[in-house]
Amino acid sequence: MRAKLVLGCIGLITCMLCCFNQCLAQSEQGDHDTVMQQFRESMVSSQLVARGIKDAAVLAAFRTVPRHRFIPEDGQKYAYADHPVSIGHNQTISQPYMVALMTELLDLKPGEKVLEIGTGSGYQAAILAELVGQERVFTIEIIKPLGQEARQTLQKNGYGDIHCLIGDGYLGWPDNAPFDGIVVTAAPTESPKPLVDQLAEGGHLVVPVDNEHGYQTLKVITKKDGKIMVNDSIDCRFVPFLGEHGKSMPPE
Ligand code: SAH
C-alpha cells in the first residue's frame, strides 16, 4: 500500500516536471518568435521602407515570412541584418533589400504565375508565394542538396505547394510557361534567351547581368506587344550563374 503511494507520488512529480519543461520550451519558443518578429519589423522599416520600397503587398510579405527559419542555425543571428548570409554550398541568401527590390520590380498581382531561378534557401520563393499564392510559384535550383533542403524548409514552414525543381534554370520551365514574372537570383553574363521566350505578354524578367565594372546591373526586361524593352535598375553583386551556360559547373 505504502509502496503504491510512493510510486504514485513519483509518477505525479515526474508528470508535473514534464509539463513544466514543455511549458518552458513553449514559452521560450514563443519569446524567440516574438523577438524575431520585432527584428523583422525593424528590418522592414529601416532597410526596406527607408530605401524606397513602397509596394504594400511586398512589405506585408516581408513582415510575414520568417526569414530566420530559411538560414542554417549558425547564421540565424544575422537573419535580419543588412547583408547577404551564407546558406552553405558557397551560396548566399541575398540581403533583404535586394530581395525586396527584385520582388517589387516584378510588379506581381495575386494569381499571376512566377518563376524563380536559384531557389537557394527557399526564402524568396516564400515571399513570392505571399504575393501570388503558392501554386503559382515555380522555382529551380541547380545544386541538388540545396534544392532538397529548400523543399523541406518550405514544407516545414507552410509553403509546401510551391513547385520546386532541381535542374539548370537557364532552360526555364517550358511546360509551365508563359510566366508573368521571372526572377534570376544568380548572375549570368547575359539574360538567358529561353527565359525571355518564356515571359508572358506584359511580364517582367528581373536579372542581374554582368557589366564592364566587374559586377552586375539589375536589368528589368519587359515584353510589351511582343517587343522586348530593357531598363536598368541598380548596380549589384550576385553569386555566379552556374551550369553549361554559366560561369562554372555546380559541385557534384
Ligand atoms: N533566391 C535565393 C538566393 C539564392 S543564391 C534565396 O532566397 O535564398 C543563388 C542560387 O542560384 C544558388 O543557390 C545557386 O546554386 C543557384 N543557381 C546558380 N546558377 C543556377 C542555374 N543555372 N539554375 C538554377 N539555379 C542556379
Residue 1 has pLDDT above 60, yes or no: no
pLDDT in tens, 29-45: 778 889 999 999 999 99
Residue 81 has pLDDT above 70, yes or no: yes
Q: How confident is the model at residue 147 (pLDDT cuts 50, 70, 90)?
A: very high
Give the residue numbers annotated as catalytic, written as ranges.
Answer: 94
Atom of ligand 1 nearest to the CA of 127: 7
Task: Say what the pLDDT of residue 121 is.
Answer: 98
Query: How many alpha carbons lie under 13 Å from residue 227 in its C-beta half-sphere?
Result: 3
Is the CB of 208 inside a 6 Å radius of any atom of ligand 1? Answer: no
SS3 state of residue 111? coil
Whole-structure pTM value: 0.91
Is the CB of 149 inside a 6 Å radius of any atom of ligand 1? Answer: no
Q: Distance (Å, rounded) from C-alpha 74 to C-alpha 67? A: 14
Which of 83, 89, 91 for mutating ligand 1's site (highest number of atoms within 8 Å of CB)?
Answer: 91
Residue 16 has pLDDT above 60, yes or no: no
Determine the distance separating the centroid of ligand 1 and the alpha carbon of 248, expressed in angstroms.
13
- Alpha helices, DSSP H, located in 77-198: 96-106, 123-132, 144-156, 193-197
pLDDT in tens, 202-252: 999 999 999 999 999 999 999 999 899 999 999 999 999 999 999 999 998
Confirm if 221 and 198 have CB atoms less than 8 A apart: no
Which of 89, 119, 206 for mutating ligand 1's site (highest number of atoms within 8 Å of CB)?
Answer: 119
> Mean pLDDT over residues 134-146, rounded?
98
Cα–Cα–Cα angle for 136, 131, 147, nearest 5°? 55
Q: Distance (Å, rounded) from C-alpha 227 to C-alpha 241? A: 26
- Domains by residue range for the chain, with CATH: 83-236 (3.40.50.150)
Determine the distance separating the centroid of ligand 1 and the alpha carbon of 29, expressed in angstroms.
31
Q: Distance (Å, rounded) from C-alpha 33 to C-alpha 68? A: 10
Question: Torsion angle of alpha carbons 198, 204, 209, 213, nearest 10°?
Answer: 160
| H/E run at residue 30 | helix 2-43
- In the chain the beta strands, taken as DSSP E runs, fall at 85-88, 91-93, 114-117, 137-141, 163-166, 179-184, 199-210, 216-224, 227-236
Task: Say what the pLDDT of residue 31 is.
Answer: 86
Q: Distance (Å, rounded) from C-alpha 86 to C-alpha 146? A: 12
Is the CB of 188 inside a 6 Å radius of any atom of ligand 1? Answer: no
Q: Distance (Å, rounded) from C-alpha 208 to C-alpha 236? A: 7
Task: Say what the pLDDT of residue 19 is.
Answer: 46
Task: Say what the pLDDT of residue 17 is.
Answer: 47
Atom of ligand 1 nearest to the CA of 94: 3
- 245: which residues sit within 8 A by CB, 6+ positions away? 168, 170, 188, 192
Atom of ligand 1 nearest to the CA of 123: 7
Question: Torsion angle of alpha carbons 91, 166, 144, 77, nearest 10°?
Answer: 40
Determine the distance separating the centroid of ligand 1 and the alpha carbon of 53, expressed in angstroms.
23
Atom of ligand 1 nearest to the CA of 169: 23
72 cis-preceded (ω within 30 degrees of 0): no
